[in-house]
Amino acid sequence: MANLVLPDAVLVKNYISGDESALASLIERHQSKIYGFIYSKVNDRDLSDDIFQDTFIKVIKTLKTKSYNEEGKFLPWVMRIAHNLVVDHFRKAKKMPFQRETEEYSIFNYMTDNAPTIESQMITEQVEVDLTRLLDELPDDQKEVLVMRMYQDLSFKEIAELTGVSINTALGRMRYALLNLRKIIEKNQIILTN
């Protein structure tokens, strides 16, 4: 329990020193972001589990061989490993990495709606569908930043490190993404109400 309040860097140090519970704490703390990131790319639960597992096997091996040297940046480091494994997967499979909606998976299956009525559910779903379509109109770099920020809840620092750009560039892309979304909404007179 005490591990939950320790910074990542301390947990990493403890783990390297032999405290196995520190690894459990690190996984518990970051599993949602890392798994969510992987799942957002591959849209497959089993594959996401495989890549999540491979990611942490690399993490464990690196930490156990004491070759980890990015103290204080544990999450971005793990996310970069996960990102590279996702890229490797798509290289092997020769598939496009951004295939969000499939027959088997829809993001709406995983949404919770506090409004109990069918009508409000239908309205909400329609708004989300419209919004998803609007997102598809954005340039890929802007869409990527917006999705990472709004859907995956990553910080701009994390987004910058994952996309290989500066924080200012990531912020700029977010700004232009929102401006472009508003332009599209105004141009097409789309009404998004909830």
Partner 1 sequence: MAKLYSKKKLAPQMILPKKETISFLLNYSKALSTYKVGNVSIEIIAN
Nearer to partner 1, 64 or 91 (CB): 64
The distance of closest approach from Cβ of residue 24 to partner 1 in the complex, given in angstroms and rounded to an integer, is: 6
Nearer to partner 1, 32 or 166 (CB): 32
Task: Please select the residue that binds partner 1; options are 6, 29, 90, 152, rule is CB under 8 A.
Answer: 152
136 sits near partner 1 (criterion: CB under 8 A): no
DSSP type of residue 109:
G
Nearer to partner 1, 61 or 157 (CB): 61
Residue 159, both tokens: 């987004």
Task: Please select the residue that binds partner 1; options are 49, 71, 101, 137, rule is CB under 8 A.
Answer: 49
The neighbour count for residue 51, using CB atoms within 10 Å, is 25
DSSP type of residue 107:
G
The span of 3-11, 21-29, 79-87, 137-145 binding partner 1 (CB under 8 A) equals 21-29
* CA separation for the pair 29, 75 (Å, rounded): 10
* CA separation for the pair 54, 58 (Å, rounded): 6
* CA separation for the pair 170, 154 (Å, rounded): 12
Residue list 58-117, contact with partner 1 (CB under 8 A): 60-61, 64-65, 107, 110-113
The neighbour count for residue 175, using CB atoms within 10 Å, is 12
DSSP type of residue 148:
I
Nearer to partner 1, 147 or 160 (CB): 147
Task: Please select the residue that binds partner 1; options are 11, 52, 83, 85, rule is CB under 8 A.
Answer: 52
Cα angle: 112, vertex 158, 48; to 5 degrees: 55
9 sits near partner 1 (criterion: CB under 8 A): no
36 sits near partner 1 (criterion: CB under 8 A): yes
The neighbour count for residue 50, using CB atoms within 10 Å, is 15
Residue 126, both tokens: 């329609």
- For partner 1, the binding residues (CB under 8 A) are 20, 23-24, 27, 31-32, 35-36, 39-40, 45, 48-49, 52-53, 56-57, 60-61, 64-65, 107, 110-113, 127-128, 131, 150-153, 182, 192, 194
